[in-house]
Structure 1
Amino acid sequence: MLWSSIATFAVLTAIVKGQTDGDTSPPHYPSPWARGNAVDWQDAYQKAKAFVSQLTLLEKVNLTTGVGWEGGPCVGNTGTIPRLNFPGLCLQDSPLGVRDTDLNSAFPAGVNVASTWSTRLFKSRGNAMGSEHRDKGVDVQLGPVAGPLGRAPEGGRNWEGFSPDPVLTGVAIAQTIQGIQDAGVVACAKHFIMNEQEHNRESTATDAFAYSSNLDDKTMHELYLWPFADAVRAGVGAIMCSYNQINNSYGSQNSYTLNYLLKEELDFQGFVTSDWWAQHTGVASAFAGLDMTMAGDQNLDSGNTWWGSNLTAAVLNGTIPQWRLDDMAVRIMSAYYKVGRDTINIPTNFNSWTLDTDGYRFPEANEDYEQVNWHVNVQDDHAALIREIGGASTVLLKNTKNALPLNKPKSVAVIGYDAHDNPDGPNSCSDRNCDEGTLAMGWGSGTANFPYLIAPNTALKAQAANDRSKYANVSDNWDYAAVAKAVTGAEVAIVFANADSGEGYITVDGNEGDRNNLTLWGGGDALIAYVASINPNTIVVLHTVGPVIVEAIKQNPNVTAILWAGLPGQESGNAITDVLYGKVNPQAKSVFTWGKAREDWGTDVTYEFPSDPPQLNFVEGVFIDYRHFDAAGIEPSYEFGFGLSYTNYSYSNLQIAKQNPGPYQPTKGFTSAAPTFGKIDYNPADAEFPPGFRAVPQYVYPYISGPVPTGLPQDWPAGATDGSPQPLVGAGGSSGGNRQLYDTMYTVSATVTNTGSVKGTEIAQLYISLGGPTDPKIVLRGFDDLILDPGQSAVFTYDITRRDISNWDTVSQNWVISSYPKTVYVGASSRNLPLSGALT
């Protein structure tokens, strides 16, 4: 199945020609208005129309504009509408739990839950997180994540998302969204789009411009946009823009990505918010499709704003038509009603800026000292789910000499600081900005405070006591004398090591968000080699944010087992103990490829740019992770989808049934004209601060001060203010794209049998070869987790959709099924596919 070097060279050469410095993003106007046409949006849209129709100009502006940094209890707060008892919206991190509060849970990271390959666990985790946000009084959870997708393994925030494979990420993000929104909270999928590294991700005092991710249309559709289509199809209420530029246009004002791709082609009906201070213009970003600005001020604590009073003025002087402002407000309120926020009366009961009971209502201004925290315990029974996901997401990479599972060993030695508690406590480092003790989440805004953290040493020590095993542990990675004493003669030595990363505003051990390398931190590689040189039964446990170079560890004969435990959250120690001792049979499969050398991936973080604006050319096209390894003929240490079990499985009886859904019909027709809701008072005097009004310093208001600017240049992009009926695009028309993309073309089934002696869960995987000379060798399209008793068989079934076997055609701007022969493969990993058949 390996390609020839000539074919590989042809493919990669064809892709390279697609991206160059200075690529431009085509303009697309006007910004599509919400239609409420999807069944799951209709009721919410009608409620939103009725609500917005009551609002004044100032109240509509208040919905769209954040009140500024530390202007309220949440990391993001919109203005209030006191007349209608509307308290404004609370937007709160993170994608793994409620950030900056207490008595909440710390869930496993996205990369961990993806490693379970279980749609049940995807949705259950989302629902549990959503319920905790709901009960803290949060309206919008800032997650889940499909950007970064994971182009470069060193990318600092890859762990917040799920996998560099778009299908696995798409399924995971869709199920997570459904879980969050079923709990009554708006999910905000992020970061849209191409936010694939932390270095130069945004314009700052030292970096004049954010990098521009330059990519071609085919790569956008077949790789990076794919999971966002799944998010929209799942009914996500909000999308967050990215900091970076896309083809030299910032994400928060990129009319092509927002107006065309998201709102027109994917038919997104919710609202688009900026990332915090990612907005760079006022009127231009409104025309380009932005609906909400966060945190509301132009820069941290600046007190000024791109919208707020400026948006009010732009509507008053006729620059922005009423229909565009109304559409912003209707989109925001549609998402609000869609998840039932109007029936959930839980006020925000925490404060992001202090864990004390009392504090300032307006922290930035140090005004209105009062009770701000009610310390509501929202954890419920989520610890059991967290522990289950921790075990189910632990990938068994190597297991020789019957090393695992452990069965009451006479003596156990546990080595490495990663097995132990941070002596100052799990929350002692703000936003987890250190690598002290066991690693259970990365750093940055995608974090949450631990209610507690069970370190592996704690759980393993308790297990040893129960088994009456002799137990020794060493927390200092560099105290080799103590290590030698502990592991010499031990029946089993378990070495823990980690590798961390996070958001770019934090630097840890010289790593500015993105990892500087793919080695283990804290001398982990040398520590493992040293222990293995003494103890012939050395087991390695890795808590890492992504792949590391493990080939030397893998080839060491005294390393009998390797487990990747990732970032498992608060129940870390209990979860890994469950797996090591066989209480849980590993089911996890790796959601990324493990290369033997850094160069094997073919992609990397760009740490320094020679040009300004920085140009980040995605010359590899769709060939990231296993797609690149396959095309280049590179043998990995462990392939994508690989994972061992304490039992064995066989695959047989592939069946392919062709369905007949009919031909694909591009969407045709026109929208209705842009609607307006209610009447706007265009008297500037009515938009001024009321007499005697006490303005809170640095707080962002919708009121204007002084005369409204007139005589402004009228050179806005062509069509930006056009509210007439607009043509529908052929690839659009329904949530997630043309509805016929999701027609079933084939039904594939195969029999999976547990041939071993232990009950287990096998992850059956289905891949497709699209057959073209510029296509990857294979692409993942489906999977399922099958729970099997010894000797039991089950049938894995997957419906192949039209989308699954289509390519994006840049000429027709639609999906097409090429004439190249297509083959389906079923098996246990991307390189263990015993069953195959032609799709005729």
Structure 2
Amino acid sequence: MLSAIAFSLLAGTAAAVTPASLQSPGFDTGIFPNTTYSGAIDPSAAAGAKFGQKSDPFYPSPWMTPGVMGWEDAYIKAKAFVSQLTLTEKINLTTGVGWEGEQCVGQVGSIPRLGFRSLCMQDSPVGVRDTDFNSVFSSGQTVAATFDRQLLYARGYAMGREHKGKGVTVQLGPVAGPIGRSPEGGRNWEGFSPDPYLTGVGIAETIKGIQDAGVIACAKHYIGNEQEHFRQVGEAEGYGWNISDAISSNLDDVTLHELYLWPFADAVRAGVGSIMCSYNQINNSYGCQNSKLLNNILKDELGFQGFVMSDWQAQHSGVSSALAGLDMTMPGDTVFNSGLSFWGTNLTLAVLNGTVPAWRVDDMAMRIMAAYFKVGLTLHEPPINFDSWTLDTYGPLHASIGANIQQVNWHVDVRGDHANLIREIGGKATVLLKNVNNTLPLSKPKFVAIIGEDAGPNLAGPNGCSDRGCDNGTLGMAWGSGTANFPYLITPDSALQAQAIADGTIYQSIFDNYATSSIQALVSQADVTAIVFVNADSGEGYINVDGNEGDRNNLTLWHSGDDLIKNVSSWCSNTIVVIHSTGPTLVTDWYDSENVTAILWAGVPGQESGNSITDVLYGKVNPAARTPFTWGPTRESYGTDLLYEPNNGNGPPQNDFLEGVFIDYRSFDKQNIKPIYEFGFGLSYTTFEYSNLVVTQVNAPKYTPTRGKTAAAPTFGSFSTNLKDYLFPSDSFPHIWQYIYPYLNSTDPNVASADPDYGEKPSQFLPPNATDGSPQPLLRAGGAPGGNPGLYDVLYTVTASIKNSGSLPGEEVPQLYLSLGGPDDPKVVLRGFDRLSIQPGQTVTFSADLQRRDLSNWDPVAQDWVVTSHTKTVYVGPSSRNLPLSQTLSN
């Protein structure tokens, strides 16, 4: 047993915790439980994942660097603040108060002495969760389809303003994990795209918007978090599976850097204040105590200056996670409402006995406070004005035990004019996949028949299912912790009916997918334009909807949607299909029917859903969106899939990412499989021509690997080593049951820790260098947020002419792809895009820069990015498989 894990108090009582309940599974050495560490995998292996793959250790945890670009003032303010803190106050910043301990889904302790209120951590990626008078925005995946940087930023800023208005400190988003390795992944909709470049732009612009609004963004879930099945042991047990540990995502160094890490590098470069580590293991080491990923790659190589926060109950150890780079534990208790914590009291004792060095806790506090000051927060922030556990005006401040009844909700309306933005995004994110003979846009059609449950309302109301854990009515939002309460939901039926009435159109709708005879009778009438609404839902693993445990069981449409389309199109020669979904669906059986005249993908659009799709169908918005993923002919054509059953006995399931970087369109290109609709595809109501590609080489400085050493780890302030100074305050102190505190219940460490081995020499339990605060060597690939600054030097500029050759004003999304030229490289990778507004007959110039990173591969031997000698070719066109312009790059 590791003595300095110590063991938490039952908060507010003198009882000690049973030691066995808090034993650590061990330090991050990449081991399976009860096996011996055998060393890291061969670093020269350029690709390939292995069953049981190991994660090699990396210590010590890097400390913040003063003077880092974008963090200069924040560091100075954080140093001044942290230098005033006592040890218990520092630990209060790092440790959550426990599940349902206060008003937000996560809060840390306050520092009343300095007038510092508790930090409030709150979901979600589409709006402020568990409150009222807030907006529900389009999903990340949906806004990615706009390929519009300005809209990505505007959405982030608007969400940030709403969180700020509710008193939130940290918005738990945006998402780059999952990136979308497999299309069935339950939470792919929360992120942006399986393409790392598009996701990188999406996450960076969203972070900038959120933090410009005065709220800390939290990029999540770091990393390899690509499925819901087996992400948590307790959750898996609830579904009948017997596993000892969470699933391990096994991937090699090249795949990590060139695919999954890419958008997190963009997040760090954008100045993100917080990153959330994930539930899963990576190479058989839990994400929140994986020293390779947290210390080596995130904090050292990427130069991350903010703080690492655990996902809720993703912390599995005390000292181990502290030394491996975790800075804040959420929600603070080991198990919800247990009153036990790996940190809190335990972390106080670990510092006092020297197992966790003082500089490590100082660095935790510094990182938290620097992120706080970086976004403009002060020591005089307004109070939290909502409560996650009730919408009532009055309720318990501590919901877990029903204590301290008072006003907890002020029902502050934070929506502003965001409905207009949400409507705009929904329209500009709708992808026109098919449009035969200019079926669309509609112009005062004679007779419109709306068919499908997805067109109408949930009969229990838009918030009738907790955390949207059902698929009833139109899909405006998927399910899980990434949700928010709808203020209203404009259904497609309500918006289209209003348009039809204004036009004098006959309008009738049927919401029952199985009312076959009624549907046939309706759509078989003369002059009918039938619009069929269908969907496919997914979400987080703690909710099971129709047998889908977060992840989708298949890629077919829900509620027999495919049969519905085939039936309607067999009876009606003008059938338009609208798909709301959390990713691609299989359209093979009906997409090429001559009676299916138009197909649109409208994603997960949020509260203005009906208005947005009406704008597109009637031409108020000329579509220009592009599909942010590939539509394959079969499930098997994607080349990846989820692990639905354990494959390692009762040990941790092993998910080997054998495909390397070849996911989505990269996989289709490698396998030479023709997709139904390729990545980046989307039609318009007008036409465009591409010409005049020009590639200009820029005289960039030579790439210089970072060298030298850090300064020694700094400490801020001093602290007593007398345990008496850390006892619970006087009897007048309001001890709250289940609340997590940093205090001790005894001056006898054996009693306080409930650990009979407390007196043993703590260093014998620690990995080499784990507590070493001496100057450390800098990594050649590091040196600044996002990595070596030379990676972001522009090497080439690319321009092309885009002409609107049609008769309508429209927008076009030219895309730049690059062939890196190596035998193990994808055929092409996205490296640039823009969304341009072009009048009929007008020609505009598309321009994009190619940075050194864009042209580089990760070298696992040199542990750095390199531009290989392989011939590299630039392509420009409207999609990943329609690239009419190309030019080889000069050396």
Unpaired runs of at least 5, structure 1: 1-13
Question: Is 1:59 equivalent to 2:83 in the alignment?
Answer: no
Quick one: distance in 2 between partners of 1:403 and 1:262? Answer: 50
- Name the residue aligned to 1:556: 593
2:392 aligned residue: 356
State the alpha-carbon separation in 2 of the partners of residues 16 and 451 from structure 1.
50
Q: Deviations over 1:647-705 (max 9, x none)?
A: 00010000011112122110001100000001112111111111213311111011112
Q: Does 1:384 align with 2:420?
A: yes
Counterparts in 2 of 1:747 and 1:385: CA distance versus 1, 3 Å: same
Residue number in structure 2 paired with 1:48: 78
Q: Which amino acid aligns with 1:300?
A: F
TM-aligned CA deviation for residue 83 of structure 1: 0.5
Match of 2:98 among 68, 74, 88: 68
CA offset at residue 578 of structure 1?
0.2
1:344 CA drift (Å): 6.6
Distance in 2 between the 1:336 and 1:657 partners? 42
Of the structure 1 ranges 738-747 and 709-718, higher mean CA displacement relative to structure 2 is found in: 709-718
Matched-pair contact (CA < 8 Å) for 2:46–2:253: no
Q: CA deviation at 1:715?
A: 2.4
2:47–2:660 CA contact under 8 A, matched in 1: no
1:701 aligns with 2:751: no
Equivalent in the alignment of 1:213: 249
Of the three residues 651, 654, 662, the one matched with 1:623 is: 662
Matching residue of 2:186: 156
Higher mean C-alpha deviation, range 196-205 or range 76-85: 196-205
The answer for the alignment partner of 2:884 in structure 1 is: 834
Which residue does the alignment assign to 1:606? 643
Q: Distance in 2 between matches of 1:372 and 1:820?
A: 62
CA contact 2:45–2:860 (8 Å) conserved in 1: no
* 3-state SS in 2 of match to 1:815: strand
What is the Cα deviation at residue 19 of structure 1?
1.2
CA contact (8 A) 1:65 1:292 kept: yes
Shift of residue 712 of structure 1?
A: 4.7
Corresponding letter in the other structure for 1:151 = R
Letter in 2 for 1:675: P
In 1, Cα distance between equivalents of 2:705 and 2:647: 43
**1:343 Cα deviation (Å)?**
6.8
Pairs within 5 Å for 1:205-284:
206=237, 207-284=243-320
CA–CA distance in 2 between the matches of 1:502 and 1:419? 20
For residues 704-723 of structure 1, the aligned pairs below 5 Å read: 704-706=744-746, 707-708=748-749, 709-713=758-762, 714-723=764-773
CA positional deviation for 1:485: 2.1
2:214 aligns with 184
Counterpart-to-counterpart distance in 1, 2:552 and 2:411: 36
Letter in 2 for 1:591: P
Alpha carbons 1:648, 1:754 under 8 Å: kept: yes
- CA shift at 1:16, angstroms? 10
Contact 1:135 1:346 (8 Å CA) reproduced: no
The answer on whether the counterparts of 1:672 and 1:724 sit within 8 Å (CA) in structure 2 is yes
Q: Is the 8 A contact 1:56 1:681 kept in 2?
A: no
User: Per-residue CA shift, 1:132-158, capped at 9, x if unaligned?
Assistant: 000000000000000000000000000
**1:670 paired to 2:709:** yes
Q: CA deviation at 1:609?
A: 1.5
Q: Quick check: 296-305 or 484-493, which moved more?
A: 484-493
CA distance in 2, matches of 1:101, 1:217: 41
Mapping 1:422-821, distance limit 5 Å: 422-489=458-525, 490-611=527-648, 612-692=651-731, 693-706=733-746, 707-708=748-749, 709-713=758-762, 714-821=764-871
- SS of 1:204's partner is helix
Distance 1:654 1:710 in 2: 72
Match of 2:15 in 1: none
Q: Deviations over 1:304-350 (max 9, x none)?
A: 00000000010111111110000000000000000011177321100
Change (3 A) 1:462 1:293: same
Query: Secondary structure in 2 aligned to 1:682?
Result: coil
Query: What is the CA-CA distance between 1:551 and the residue it aligns to?
Result: 1.8
Q: Which deviates the most, 131-140 or 481-490?
A: 481-490
**Is 2:127 the partner of 1:87?**
no
Q: Secondary structure at the match of 1:414?
A: strand
Check the 8 A contact 1:16/1:621 in 2, yes or no. no
Q: Counterparts of 1:125-140 in structure 2 under 5 Å?
A: 125-140=155-170
Q: 1:365 aligns with which of 377, 388, 401?
A: 401
Q: In the TM superposition, what is the alpha-carbon distance from 1:418 to its structure 2 partner?
A: 0.2
Residue equivalent to 2:32: none
Residue 329 (structure 1) aligns with: 365
Q: Take 1:39 and 1:160, find their aligned partners in 2: how far apart are those partners?
A: 30
For residues 729 and 202 of structure 1, the distance between their equivalents in structure 2, rounded to whole angstroms, comes to 33
Instruction: Decide which moves more: 825-834 or 19-28.
Output: 19-28
1:666–1:15 CA distance, 2 compared to 1 (3 A): closer
Contact 1:15-1:619 within 8 A present in 2 as well: no
Measure, in 1, the Cα distance between the counterparts of 2:483 and 2:742: 32
**Secondary structure of the corresponding residue to residue 728 of structure 2:** coil
Aligned-partner Cα distance in 1 for 2:612–2:251: 41
The Cα offsets for residues 358-394 of structure 1, whole Å up to 9 and x where unpaired, read as 0000000110001000000000000000000000000
CA apart distance, 1:17: 6.5
Q: Deviations over 1:469-502 (max 9, x none)?
A: 0011001000112211221224300000000000
Please state whether the residue corresponding to 1:189 is helix, strand or coil: strand
Matched, 1:297 2:347: no
Check whether the contact 1:16–1:619 (CA below 8 A) recurs between aligned residues: no
Mapped to 2, the partners of 1:423 and 1:513 lie a distance apart of: 23
Q: Distance in 1 between the 2:761 and 2:372 partners?
A: 35
Instruction: State the Cα distance separating 1:610 from its structure 2 match.
Output: 1.9
Give the Cα–Cα distance (whole angstroms) in 1 for the partners of residues 559 and 670 of structure 2: 34
Shift of 1:22: 1.1
Describe the SS at the equivalent of 2:707: coil
- Cα contact 2:116–2:380 (8 A) shared by 1: no
The answer on whether the counterparts of 1:16 and 1:620 sit within 8 Å (CA) in structure 2 is no
Question: What corresponds to 1:9 in structure 2?
Answer: none
How many residues of Structure 1 are paired with residues of Structure 2 in the alignment?
A: 827
Is 1:311 matched up with 2:347? yes
Letter in 2 for 1:761: E
Larger deviation: 546-555 or 190-199?
A: 546-555
Q: Aligned letter for 1:541?
A: V
User: 4+ residue stretches of structure 1 with deviation over 3 A?
Assistant: 14-17
Q: Structure 1 counterpart of 2:869, which letter?
A: S
Equivalent pair of 2:47/2:254 in contact (CA under 8 Å): no
Q: Give the partner amino acid of 1:731.
A: A
Letter matched to residue 739 of structure 2:
Y
Report SS of the residue matched to 1:696.
coil
Supply the distance in 2 between the matched residues of 1:219 and 1:441 (Cα, whole angstroms): 31
Structure 2 residues not aligned, in runs of 5+: 1-43, 238-242, 750-757
User: Could you tell me how far apart the structure 2 residues matched to 1:594 and 1:773 are?
Assistant: 26
- Cα distance in 1 for partners of 2:654, 2:94 equals 32
Contact kept? 1:136, 1:346, Cα under 8 Å: no
